[in-house]
Structure 1
């Protein structure tokens, strides 16, 4: 063997004359190939005035003195070009691009393009223009970070271990968090903000099960795109649910459903609260204290075939309707509080009733002040109340063509209907069954009750009743 197997440097032969020639040739090769540096690997023609020792990697398609030397290492020495054939795996620094190039046995290319697929796997951490650490295993300090596609789309994935963990993007200022979006402790997508990094407010939340968007901090209302029903089920529901599904997806309380409905924009669509068959034990009235945004009425529906299966029993009032438009059907209402009422309407409230059963009514089953109520379906009364209907301050009550059944002879000590201060009631074409005790009416201060000539015994009660101060019974 006359040359080394790797760099092909010549050996000095035994008894060789002029050994310095062979030795110098080996030094020349070492001078080029150790810490191999080339001025360029993109040139196809040699420079017009090369310097001594200048080195290039000849680009494909070379001409002139480099013709036929593609991918060879060209060294200018003693006024001529010397070409060295690279071997697979040799690495050179290319100074005009300041990149490393590697020879794969056929051509030179960037080092990164020739790494094996596992070469960068399982690194401890990577820091780009900064220092990474045990927590921030990938750290980048730059004016911008680009994540580009590779021929199509691009998806950035942030994965967490369990639903109770966090997968989010945190936005900071001076290392203090001020905004966060993602999955924080559950599978609902949230956007949160903070002024100090300690107290956080949820600006927007998207329910992971339904896609329903809510704005817990207010400011924006969900607008319905179609008629929508919310469900209430005391036995199976939970007030942390969306309420958009029956059974275990329902709310547990009626007030929670009402609050949810009042937080949205109906957009002109029907809004229904469906009550499951159950006993609803209330300790305070269900408050509906504003009109439905986007127009329309709030329809609260129980079991219209058997209203007693949806029993709303309260130790206070049952419904307090203020300025809202509400339709109530298929429920049984009762209160154990003598001074309370089953349905209270005020401030231009508009209430529609159908298939209702009234149990014990306290001060009144229905009490209206500057509000309206119309009965459009059958009604049954099974319990006593001081008054079945109490009207005040220009309240209006209408019942036409319906059936009112009285079971157990309920007692109305003040009157079946009391009307004061410019209020009005009309009863036309109704059918009454059963008996009641107490006066039929008490009408005063420019109020009127019109039975369209049915007579003083038309309404339920044990005695006629009285009028005063311009009150009229017709």
Structure 2
């Protein structure tokens, strides 16, 4: 019997120049970012002559690696930096972006209209020691789709014109460290379309005269769990809004548990308990 082989489609032929070769890590890797650095540096030493100048350059460089089982950390020195876009990467350990976890305001990401941090379908990341703020538009932390972020060190939120944090289309955020709020926003956390927000046993400090003109928490067709959080300080605005079969679970802490000076509300399908 004559054997008929599979005919190769010319579109399946990939030249060597088209292949992407990733560096395979065999140990943990740390990239450094400083305001006096340069994006033409390697990013591998914490000096002006070795560090990158932008966080985005460090993210792009880390995302081009094969991290394997090793930790990649982006360490950011004190200063003010532009907004960033998280990238999808190869590796089994979440990439960590770390600023000053004692005084997050020393490492500030500030923008005008864009989001401070945007991640869409980028896998798992860790954030800590950053202050996020913007002026005329956008969100502090905007997560979409298959994105999972954990706060591994103290974070701070200054004034944001849209939301401090926005989760949509299945994104997940867990706060695993203390966090601070030092600026107002229409919403502190908004979760929409099957997203998930979790914080347990972490302190939240509100500083100054804060206002949440819409609500502190907004939950639309999603789930938000807030357990054992100690809120210090105060704010004006509604405590929560939950709709479209969403669930805000505070584990019996009561209707006045969340920051705000006005009652929360539902659309009749949402649940707060």
TM-score over 0.5 (shorter chain): yes
Query: How far is 1:337 from its partner?
Result: 2.3
Given the superposition, is the C-alpha separation of residues 451 and 241 from structure 1 closer, same or farther in structure 2, using an over 3 Å criterion?
A: same
| Counterparts of 2:34 and 2:102, CA distance in 1 | 18
SS state of the match for residue 261, structure 1?
Answer: helix
- 2:115 paired with 1:312: no
Query: How far is 1:332 from its partner?
Result: 0.9
SS state of the match for residue 264, structure 2?
Answer: strand
Aligned twin of 2:33: 232
| Counterparts of 1:306 and 1:328, CA distance in 2 | 14
Give 1:245's match in structure 2, choosing from 45, 52, 59: 45
Aligned twin of 1:435: 234
- 2:89 paired with 1:288: no
> For 1:100-115, what aligned pairs fall within 5 Å after superposition?
none
Give 1:345's match in structure 2, choosing from 131, 143, 155: 143
What residue ranges of structure 2 are gaps of 5+ in the alignment? 1-16
**CA RMSD for the aligned pairs?**
1.2
| Counterparts of 1:330 and 1:364, CA distance in 2 | 19
CA contact (8 A) 1:409 1:434 kept: no
| Counterparts of 2:73 and 2:92, CA distance in 1 | 13
Aligned twin of 2:12: none
CA contact (8 A) 2:60 2:87 kept: no
| Counterparts of 1:358 and 1:318, CA distance in 2 | 11
| Counterparts of 1:321 and 1:258, CA distance in 2 | 12
Aligned twin of 2:24: 223
Larger radius of gyration: 1
Give 1:263's match in structure 2, choosing from 43, 51, 64: 64
Aligned twin of 1:29: none
Matched residues, number: 252
| Counterparts of 2:51 and 2:149, CA distance in 1 | 25
- 2:212 paired with 1:412: yes
Query: How far is 1:415 from its partner?
Result: 0.4
Give 1:389's match in structure 2, choosing from 185, 189, 192: 189
SS state of the match for residue 60, structure 2?
Answer: helix
Given the superposition, is the C-alpha separation of residues 279 and 308 from structure 1 closer, same or farther in structure 2, using an over 3 Å criterion?
A: same
What residue ranges of structure 1 are gaps of 5+ in the alignment? 1-202, 204-216
SS state of the match for residue 20, structure 2?
Answer: coil
Query: How far is 1:218 from its partner?
Result: 5.9
CA contact (8 A) 1:341 1:367 kept: yes
Aligned twin of 2:5: none
CA-to-partner distance for each residue in 1:109-147, whole Å, 9 max, x for gaps?
xxxxxxxxxxxxxxxxxxxxxxxxxxxxxxxxxxxxxxx
| Counterparts of 1:410 and 1:327, CA distance in 2 | 27
TM-score by length of 1: 0.52
Query: How far is 1:321 from its partner?
Result: 1.1
SS state of the match for residue 385, structure 1?
Answer: coil
| Counterparts of 1:437 and 1:468, CA distance in 2 | 21
> For 1:31-46, what aligned pairs fall within 5 Å after superposition?
none
Query: How far is 1:263 from its partner?
Result: 0.5
| Counterparts of 2:268 and 2:27, CA distance in 1 | 50
| Counterparts of 1:336 and 1:413, CA distance in 2 | 16
Given the superposition, is the C-alpha separation of residues 310 and 218 from structure 1 closer, same or farther in structure 2, using an over 3 Å criterion?
A: farther
CA contact (8 A) 1:289 1:320 kept: no
Aligned twin of 1:454: 253
Aligned twin of 2:98: 301
CA-to-partner distance for each residue in 1:76-101, whole Å, 9 max, x for gaps?
xxxxxxxxxxxxxxxxxxxxxxxxxx
Aligned twin of 2:120: 322
Query: How far is 1:409 from its partner?
Result: 2.5
| Counterparts of 2:130 and 2:165, CA distance in 1 | 14
Query: How far is 1:469 from its partner?
Result: 4.3
SS state of the match for residue 22, structure 2?
Answer: coil
